[in-house]
Structure 1
Amino acid sequence: MITFFKFSPNGENLLSWTSETFDLDLSFSLDALTPKPPLFDWEIDPDITDHITYNEREITKLRSCMAQGNCRRNQEKVVLAFAHTWPQAIIDGWRGGEGVWAMSMFRAMRELGYTVLIGMNGWGQFVGQTRLFALEETLAHYRMFPDQVKVIIKSAWIDDCIKNPACIKSDINLTGIPRWKREFAMNFFPDEHTRFGLDYKWIIHADRHFKGQEETEKLQYIGYSFEEECKKRPFVPHKQRPMASWILAKQATLFHLSTVETAFNKSYFELASQEPGLEDMSFRGAYQVNGEYMKNWIHDSPVQALNGVVNLGKIGPEEFGDEVANARMMIGVGNPALSPSPYLALCSGTPFLNPIKSWDLEHPDDRSKWVSQHNYLKWLDPPYVYNVPAHDYEGFVSAIKSAIHSPPTKRYIDPPMTLDGVRKRVERLVETDWRAIAKEYMEERIAEGATYTWTL
């Protein structure tokens, strides 16, 4: 009930009042007004040089807060990330595609307050003088906190624990790891071939093939974010940028593969710089000339440096980010597929030339049939993404000219790839009742005649 008062114009005298009753749905408003829980510091201690030391400190913190009853929000929920990309990214600073993805997940988990322990996924790997056996390492850490461990992330192709009766929980091994915790396969690409027995939702992946796939796919998209990294640099208006385009290739071998995999002939760059309107264009890159890289795939040898491309050699992520933020365009050459780098370019306001490697000859405009270097970005259009058929020199030149004459005026961040978006999907991963989902899936398979040697 709400009461309405009517005052005199000067506000001194109450003239009348009425009371009304309304049915109000305040759920949306109240939810919008509810403050979000604060995020926690996610970075590790600067003196840590190996994942063993990192884990020891996190375990000490967790045991201490559990004993004293003062754990922070989510601290008693443990994620075991035992895939080699995690120590490589977090400890060694590796920023390949999988490293970018692991770092984004790690950050999101730590910001949400979860305890994250990391490790290897291969047999007999050394850290300093310590030889680690991943199966024993995973089991040992799980058995420290069997009730607290929510999910265990492994590399996609690793199934040693799943196949080992001494590791997986069963009627004869009650202290083993339940499969519904152990089977989260980290596969960068959204492919289904890494499924080992549970439903496809146990395959987590970094990127997508189709727009809007996040909510309808069989698998589980987690993704990553460049939001903070690109925003560290101011957006550079294109008129203030040098006349330079960045070539997306870390190896010269990528220009010596088959015509299916190498989208543009290595002569294109030198030829393009002689085209009207592109005489001042400089093509730049940072690649290695290594004839051993993808040796069995080379069709055109010897592997040589590219004419017409300034090669900076091996550079670090900071210099790479600066180059991309000041380029007029990033040019894909066919590989690597689903590379994170074009997202960094778009977030910097730098358009991406996306090679289309194959298409339906009868329906060449049907994007669902395109296979492009970056299969998700094929759904975007200029001024951010220029989709160009492989070996189309005129289209190649036209895209570069268009990027110069009609450049982006602001950044583009794919909506699911914000920091907050990654946090929400990581939270869903950790908080979902996977045991209940596995139980339902298991019962359906048993009804169809399947048998299981493991238990929930």
Structure 2
Amino acid sequence: MAFRSCADYFFNPAARGPVSILLVCIVALAILVSFQENTYALWAGRLSPHASFASHDDGVFTIETAKTFNATALAHILFPATPDPADHSLYAENERTLAELIQCIEGDSCGPNRSKVVLLASSPFRGVLGGERGGEAIWANSTLIALRNMGYSYLYALNLAHMVSLYQIFSALIPVILLDASDSFKCFKDDKCVRRRDRPHGVPIWKMLSFHFWDSPDHPLGAKWTLNPEPYRRPVPHNTTYLGYSVEAQCARQPFIPHAERDQRAYVLAKKAAYFEPNHTAWSPDFYDAAAAAVNEYDGNSGSNASEGFHFLAGVHDPELPNYWPERVRNGGLLPSALFYEAVARSRVLVGVGQPFISPSPYDALCAGVPFINPIHGWSNDAPDDRMAWATQHNPLKWLDPPYVYNVFKGDREGFVRAVVDAVSHPIESYVLPRMRMSAVEQRLRGIVERDWKGEAEVLLEERKKSGEGEIFWI
């Protein structure tokens, strides 16, 4: 258990042996680094070249006895250059975390949870560092905020090989690993990745949690080990683990715009012109004309035409619009994030057209005081009001009612017009679902990190052995 010994030496003073163990650990880390990709080796390769401590004053770093061991100096040796504050690359973020972790543990100054390291191997977390703003990145960013708020440490992994190396060094500190669902299966099948009877230094499959955006269990151990951004309702025992996310941080950056100061328009949730294609869209072009006319009549502007009065605004990236594009819908082009949120906040209602599915934007709209029209594209003909049977653009929001969410059947012109008029005539204040408060996200995330995943895996393993169903794994 060489790697466990190294972790104990760095992070468990009571377990320290001779100082020679320190040198062995540093050499072991350097050897381990040699198996990383070149870019990672450039970062971590400094572990070995600085193994000579002669240049450090005795008052800063001494190695004569274990009692004089100073991890603050060790942090300086391993990470001699402080990353530029503007550098938010994966390597810079990991350097900051490791330096702070070594110092606080040795100095017995760690705050609550600081010595627990969540390993982030899922691509959306790397996407956050790269400035991505899609739904998966928004979920990942919310998770990062929650981890920071609760004082947990976290390290980023570039890929599975990097994940394995980081785990082997810090296994004693890592309660869970968040990774892509596909990677959980890859690791499970890879003898160089997962822990097995003859490979005890592999990563336990029960510590890996699939960070999975969509409505499906996707992990070798089943639904429980699959984290989702939404409380997808599935029959037991197929329920996944709901982590969720919050839009409060982003919403706080956009001032609430009084309804009297907003534009006479609806914002259409669509980034692609193809979403308006007749066979895919929920609303025909004439629906927009009828809704605009009805709102203008309600506002006393019944003489308005397509170029004035109430209108619809979209933000698609297509340079040329197709011939089926609705005349009443103006295209403002794909907007930068801040301008997009402002455009939504200045609107009276957010209109879904069928896609994209499960976007965070309706939550942003509700927080900005903008209701959402949610298209229903599938239902039971025998019981059309049965919401369990509804398939909507945003299924988690199908359970909400006006004045926040207006669920309208695809192709229902009268229902669409009524929803637009009702949304405009019944403005709402800022609304955040209780489950999407950051405090709620933190509570769920804490439960996930602190959960006895090993104990639950032991129960599952016994069930699989008795039933003969499901692959056997190593605890």
Instruction: Report the TM-score, using the length of structure 2 for normalisation.
Output: 0.75
1:447 corresponds, among 466, 472, 475, to: 466
Counterpart of 1:150 in 2: which secondary structure?
coil
Deviates more, 1:224-233 or 1:385-394: 224-233
Please say if residues 252 and 303 of structure 1, whose CA atoms lie closer than 8 Å, have aligned partners that are also in contact: no
2:351 corresponds, among 307, 331, 343, to: 331
Sequence identity (%):
35
Deviations 1:251-290 (A, max 9, x none): 11111263xx421124533454344447411211211117
In the TM superposition, residue 307 of structure 1 has moved relative to its aligned partner by: 2.5
2:244 corresponds, among 218, 223, 235, to: 223
Tell me if 1:79 matches 2:118. yes
Distance 1:135 1:389 in 2: 44
Distance 1:232 1:239 in 2: 21
Q: CA 1:365/1:381 → structure 2, altered by over 3 Å: closer, same or farther?
A: same
In the TM superposition, residue 112 of structure 1 has moved relative to its aligned partner by: 0.9
Match of 2:310 in 1: 281
In the TM superposition, residue 202 of structure 1 has moved relative to its aligned partner by: 0.3
Tell me if 1:202 matches 2:228. no
Q: How does 1:292-371 map to 2 (within 5 A)?
A: 306-371=326-391
Match of 2:283 in 1: 264
Tell me if 1:96 matches 2:120. no
Distance 2:119 2:139 in 1: 16
- RMSD between aligned alpha carbons? 2.4
Tell me if 1:176 matches 2:215. no
Q: Which amino acid aligns with 2:140?
A: A
Please say if residues 200 and 218 of structure 1, whose CA atoms lie closer than 8 Å, have aligned partners that are also in contact: yes
Counterpart of 1:364 in 2: which secondary structure?
coil
Deviations 1:171-204 (A, max 9, x none): 110110011112x111112322x132x1421000
Counterpart of 2:155 in 1: which secondary structure?
strand
Q: Which amino acid aligns with 2:96?
A: R
Counterpart of 1:228 in 2: which secondary structure?
helix
Match of 2:166 in 1: 141
Deviations 1:151-189 (A, max 9, x none): 11111222221110111111110110011112x111112
Distance 1:451 1:334 in 2: 37
Tell me if 1:114 matches 2:152. yes
2:408 corresponds, among 359, 369, 388, to: 388
Deviations 1:26-49 (A, max 9, x none): xxxxxxxxxxxxxxxxxx974124
Match of 2:274 in 1: 253
Counterpart of 2:462 in 1: which secondary structure?
helix
In the TM superposition, residue 312 of structure 1 has moved relative to its aligned partner by: 1.8
In the TM superposition, residue 393 of structure 1 has moved relative to its aligned partner by: 1.6
In the TM superposition, residue 70 of structure 1 has moved relative to its aligned partner by: 2.7
Counterpart of 1:174 in 2: which secondary structure?
coil
Q: Which amino acid aligns with 1:163?
A: K
In the TM superposition, residue 242 of structure 1 has moved relative to its aligned partner by: 1.7
Please say if residues 374 and 398 of structure 2, whose CA atoms lie closer than 8 Å, have aligned partners that are also in contact: yes
Q: How does 1:33-48 map to 2 (within 5 A)?
A: 46-48=85-87
Distance 1:444 1:55 in 2: 39
Number of residue pairs matched by the alignment: 382
Q: CA 1:45/1:190 → structure 2, altered by over 3 Å: closer, same or farther?
A: farther
Deviations 1:388-443 (A, max 9, x none): 110112211111111122222x2221111001000011101111110011011111
Q: CA 1:135/1:234 → structure 2, altered by over 3 Å: closer, same or farther?
A: closer
1:69 corresponds, among 105, 108, 113, to: 108
In the TM superposition, residue 452 of structure 1 has moved relative to its aligned partner by: 5.8
Please say if residues 349 and 371 of structure 2, whose CA atoms lie closer than 8 Å, have aligned partners that are also in contact: yes
Larger strand share, 1 or 2: 1
Q: CA 1:52/1:311 → structure 2, altered by over 3 Å: closer, same or farther?
A: same
Counterpart of 2:186 in 1: which secondary structure?
coil
Q: Which amino acid aligns with 1:252?
A: A
Distance 2:232 2:332 in 1: 32
Match of 2:46 in 1: none
Distance 1:229 1:452 in 2: 42
1:59 corresponds, among 77, 90, 98, to: 98
Q: CA 1:82/1:214 → structure 2, altered by over 3 Å: closer, same or farther?
A: farther
Q: CA 1:451/1:283 → structure 2, altered by over 3 Å: closer, same or farther?
A: closer
Q: CA 1:219/1:103 → structure 2, altered by over 3 Å: closer, same or farther?
A: same
Counterpart of 2:263 in 1: which secondary structure?
coil
Counterpart of 1:146 in 2: which secondary structure?
helix
Please say if residues 223 and 241 of structure 2, whose CA atoms lie closer than 8 Å, have aligned partners that are also in contact: yes
Distance 1:450 1:250 in 2: 44
Match of 1:17 in 2: none
Please say if residues 278 and 324 of structure 2, whose CA atoms lie closer than 8 Å, have aligned partners that are also in contact: no
Please say if residues 276 and 325 of structure 2, whose CA atoms lie closer than 8 Å, have aligned partners that are also in contact: no
2:256 corresponds, among 231, 235, 241, to: 235
Distance 2:322 2:366 in 1: 34
Match of 2:214 in 1: 189
Distance 2:287 2:85 in 1: 45
Distance 2:160 2:374 in 1: 41
Q: Return 5+ residue gaps in structure 2 as ranges.
A: 1-82
Match of 2:394 in 1: 374
Please say if residues 269 and 308 of structure 1, whose CA atoms lie closer than 8 Å, have aligned partners that are also in contact: yes
Please say if residues 355 and 389 of structure 1, whose CA atoms lie closer than 8 Å, have aligned partners that are also in contact: yes
Counterpart of 1:345 in 2: which secondary structure?
helix
Q: CA 1:363/1:233 → structure 2, altered by over 3 Å: closer, same or farther?
A: same
Distance 1:139 1:245 in 2: 49
Q: CA 1:219/1:392 → structure 2, altered by over 3 Å: closer, same or farther?
A: same
Distance 2:392 2:472 in 1: 42
Please say if residues 84 and 119 of structure 1, whose CA atoms lie closer than 8 Å, have aligned partners that are also in contact: no
Distance 1:369 1:453 in 2: 36
Please say if residues 170 and 453 of structure 1, whose CA atoms lie closer than 8 Å, have aligned partners that are also in contact: no
In the TM superposition, residue 57 of structure 1 has moved relative to its aligned partner by: 2.0
Q: CA 1:46/1:305 → structure 2, altered by over 3 Å: closer, same or farther?
A: farther
